[in-house]
Amino acid sequence: MRFAGLAGAGLLMLALAGCEGARAPAAQEGSAAGSEALPAPVLEQMETQPLRARAEAALRDQRLHTPAGDNAVEYYLALRERESDPGVAAALGEMQPYVLIATEQALAQQQLDEGRRLLGLLARMDTHAPALPRLRESLRVAQERADREEGARIADAAKPALATPVQVTPTAPPIPARTNSPGAPVTPTPAPVTTIAMTPPATPEPVTPKEVAAPAPVARTETAPTALPRLLQDAAPRYPLAARNRRIEGSVQVAFTIQPDGRVTDARAVSAQPEGLFEQAALAAAARWHFEATSRRVTTTRTVTFRLPPDPNT
């Protein structure tokens, strides 16, 4: 393969092809360089010669792109920002295929944090690298898959909260049935059964023709009974993908403050059913609400309800 031997002597020769006058100091500090990771501010303040020594030591030790903060790619990128050196540019060009392969492997193994870090290194090495769009799309797909798995885990944990309606039988005494003949046995009338749902139904709101034509998950809000400025701009929250895939419904009570200019601030989730699934979507919608401007500040609550359309397969 073309790059089979680059991690050894070939890369080292490219790295040493930089400034001729820097070889002696670099060799003296090479044995001590690369012993620990350095944060970006420290790299920016380090002298050029110690930085070059760390870069060459990382190259010799095969630390091309890992560990984070102590690898040849990051050191050579820092050198490239300081000076225009053909040797530095050549070393980065030779290491670029290795970073590309490592990024693909990290994304394939769902190591998203590592894949995101390596993708950032590749973009710094070459902002026009042909593989960047493909790798970014792979990262997006992998992140969505991880979000779905996390959503399924949350939904499984929230299942006890989605209990079936509870039937409560009143304890009032039964009413004796009337009989037409004296002395006939009296048959008690069965007591009525009342069904109490865990979540009371929300008041339906008018829907637009578009919503009628194409049913979609519905997220509604209920305003607390208090004198409020007139709502000028409402915003329907985005139905969380994990909840929609698992067909989970719920609600979030949001407390917030209406400023005199109508803006909504200090939005926070007071309660949620189930917890940990709908709060973020409800708060994001609350940030887009806008009320009529008044001369006062009002604190109130609204309930954002998440309901799914009927399943056509049932």
CA 116 from chain centre, in angstroms, equals 14
Residue 27 confidence (pLDDT): 37
Query: Residue 257, Cβ neighbours under 10 Å: how many?
Result: 14
| Amino acid, res. 247 | R
Residue pair 283/254 in contact (Cβ under 8 Å)? The answer is yes
Using the CB atoms, write b or e for 112-127: b if 16+ within 10 Å: eebbbbbbebbeebee
Query: Residue 31, Cβ neighbours under 10 Å: how many?
Result: 11
Tell me how far apart the alpha carbons of residues 196 and 199 are, in angstroms, rounded to a whole number: 9
User: Mapping DSSP to helix (H, G, I), strand (E, B) and coil, where does residue 166 land?
Assistant: strand
Residue 45 confidence (pLDDT): 76
Residue pair 185/176 in contact (Cβ under 8 Å)? The answer is no
Query: Residue 262, Cβ neighbours under 10 Å: how many?
Result: 17
Among candidate residues 69, 54, 46, the one with its CA nearest the CA of residue 15: 54
Tell me how far apart the alpha carbons of residues 283 and 288 are, in angstroms, rounded to a whole number: 9
| Amino acid, res. 103 | T
Return per-residue pLDDT of the chain as tens, 314 residues.
Answer: 333 343 444 544 444 444 333 433 443 444 444 457 777 667 777 889 999 999 999 999 999 999 998 999 999 999 998 888 899 999 999 999 999 999 999 999 989 999 999 999 999 999 999 999 999 999 999 898 888 888 787 777 766 544 445 454 445 454 454 444 455 454 444 433 333 233 333 444 554 444 444 456 666 665 555 578 999 999 989 999 989 999 999 999 999 999 999 999 999 999 999 999 999 999 999 999 999 999 899 999 999 999 998 877 76
Q: Is the link from the previous residue into 215 a cis peptide, with omega within 30 of 0? A: no
Residue 154 confidence (pLDDT): 77
228, with CB counted inside 10 A (0-12, 13-18, 19+), is middle
Pairing of strands 250-258, 194-196: unpaired
Tell me how far apart the alpha carbons of residues 22 and 20 are, in angstroms, rounded to a whole number: 5
